Amino acid sequence: NAGVMQNPRHLVRRRGQEARLRCSPMKGHSHVYWYRQLPEEGLKFMVYLQKENIIDESGMPKERFSAEFPKEGPSILRIQQVVRGDSAAYFCASLTTLRGLNEQFFGPGTRLTVL
Amino acid sequence: GQQVMQIPQYQHVQEGEDFTTYCNSSTTLSNIQWYKQRPGGHPVFLIQLVKSGEVKKQKRLTFQFGEAKKNSSLHITATQTTDVGTYFCAGGGSTLGRLYFGRGTQLTVWP
A40-88 pLDDT tens trace: 788 999 999 998 899 999 999 999 999 999 988 999 999 999 999 999 9
Query: pLDDT tens-digit profile of B79-105?
Result: 999 999 999 999 987 667 788 899 999
Task: Return the bridge partners of B65, or none.
Answer: B72
Task: Return the bridge partners of B47, or none.
Answer: B34
Which pLDDT does position B33 carry in this prediction?
93
A4-34 burial by CB neighbour count: b if 16+ within 10 A, else e? bebeeeebebeeeeebebbbbbbeebebbbb
**Residue A106: its chain B contacts at CB < 8 A?**
35, 42-44
Which among B74, B76, B53, B65 has a CA at the least distance from the CA of B25?
B65
Q: Are A88 and A68 in contact (CB under 8 A)?
A: no
Which pLDDT does position A95 carry in this prediction?
84
Query: pLDDT tens-digit profile of A25-49?
Result: 998 888 899 999 988 788 999 999 9
Q: How far apart are CA B11 and CA B106, in angstroms?
A: 6
Which pLDDT does position B1 carry in this prediction?
66
As a dihedral over the C-alpha atoms of residue A110, residue B1, residue B2, residue B3, rounded to 10 degrees, the angle is 70
Cα Rg of chain A, angstroms? 14
Spans in chain B with pLDDT lower than 50: none
Q: Which one of B41, B99, B103 has the shortest CB-CB distance to A104?
A: B99
C-beta atoms of A42 and B33 within 8 A: no
Model confidence band, residue A2 (pLDDT cutoffs 50, 70, 90): low
Q: What is the least distance, in Å, from the CA of B8 to any CA of chain A?
A: 13
What's the half-sphere exposure (Cβ side, CA atoms, 13 Å) at B11?
Answer: 24
Q: What is the least distance, in Å, from the CA of A72 to any CA of chain B?
A: 22
**Number of CB pairs, chain A paired with chain B, less than 8 A apart:** 61
Model confidence band, residue A12 (pLDDT cutoffs 50, 70, 90): very high
**Residue B88: its chain A contacts at CB < 8 A?**
42-43
- Which residues lie closer than 8 Å to A34 by C-beta, 6 or more apart? A23, A45, A46, A47, A49, A60, A67, A75, A77, A90, A91, A92
Rounded to an integer, the average pLDDT of A79-100 is 89
φ/ψ (deg, to 5) at A100: 75, 5
Q: How far apart are CA A59 and CA B57, in angstroms?
A: 33
Which pLDDT does position A99 carry in this prediction?
65
Which pLDDT does position B37 carry in this prediction?
95
Which pLDDT does position A27 carry in this prediction?
86
CA quadruple B13, B50, B6, A23: dihedral sign: positive
Question: What SS3 state is found at B11?
Answer: strand
